[in-house]
Amino acid sequence: MTFQALIFDVDGTLAETEEAHRRAFNETFGDFGLDWHWSRAVYADLLKITGGKERIRHFIDHYRPEDAERVRDIVGQLHQEKTARYVRNMGGGGVRLRPGVERLIREAAAAGMRLAIATTTSLPNVKILLDEALGAGATGLFEVIAAGDMVAAKKPAPDVYLLALERLGLPADACLAIEDSYNGVMSARRAGITTLATTSDYTRLEDLRYAFGVLSDLGEPDAPFLHFSGVGAGESHVTVDLIQRWCHGRAMPQ
């Protein structure tokens, strides 16, 4: 048995995007005349809730900000504006993928592995990130993109990974998921998929024990990853070859 597909999360895994999301939320609050500002500390707490609309509703319910009731009815509209802002801001350039991401994507595609995305973020956010970081048309590298509201229940529910598996037409054990957060690892694992975690700015202290391995990033030959637990000890960068060796020796943490 070998892995036939890699399924990537987006936010925190392909790129460090959460500060760009936070900026887009805050700018949109300003546009709507709201005196709301999500600091890094508040955002770190809110990130436990995946999905922008769900995060705003959670903020209203738990932080009880001014104008809460006015916004409750227009969360969808506010979030649409936030997505438009995020896309405009990302279109300004300067988007960088995390270490090893582009190398592994290109290597896997060249080796005939299939590529997919499973994310809670909205589809336009995925497209602009891939276009900006990998060049126009880069979404074509990914055979399946399962994103945002395509499923009813967002991570840590397994739905978005189950959708990706269905669209790939593959069983869970033919795939490796790459994630950065507790919610993401739980989502993939609940779908039965072996999951590699690479920690990101906002998730490095999260409980990632259900991952097959926890690394700082995917690494480059001249910029090795840090190994935190599970697979990857003594290695420097994640390659297709290494992934297939892990596949042969795998035993998932329970």
First to last CA, the chain: 21
Give the count of beta carbons closer than 10 Å to the beta carbon of residue 217: 20
Q: Which is nearer to ligand XBP, 2 or 96 (CB)?
A: 96
CA–CA gap between residue 42 and residue 48 (Å, rounded): 11
- Give least dist CB 35 to ligand XBP, A: 21
- Residues 19-48 contacting ligand XBP, CB under 6 A: 21
Identify each DSSP E strand in 58-142 by its residue range: 114-118
Q: Choose between 117 and 165: whose C-beta lies nearer to Mg ion.
A: 117
Instruction: Please state the φ and ψ torsions of residue 53, each to the nearest 5 degrees.
Output: -65, -45
Question: Is 200:213 a contact under the CB 8 Å cutoff?
Answer: no
Instruction: Kindly name the residue from 9, 159, 180, 217 that is annotated as catalytic.
Output: 9
Is residue 227 within a helix (H) or strand (E), and if so which, with residue range? strand 227-230
122 binds Mg ion (CB under 5 A): no
Residue 11 falls in the annotated catalytic set: yes
Query: Given candidates 5, 10, 101, 243, which one binds ligand XBP under the rule CB under 6 A?
Result: 10
C-alpha 5/C-alpha 61 separation (Å) is 39
Residue 119 binds ligand XBP, judged by CB under 6 A: yes
Strand, helix or coil for residue 40: helix
Catalytic residue among 11, 159, 180, 217: 11
Residue 120 Cβ vs ligand XBP, minimum distance, rounded to whole Å:
4
Q: Which of 11, 18, 132, 217 binds Mg ion (CB under 5 A)?
A: 11
Q: Which residues bind ligand XBP (CB under 6 A)?
A: 9-12, 18, 21, 50-52, 82-83, 119-122, 125, 148, 155, 181, 183-184
Residues marked active site are found at 9, 11
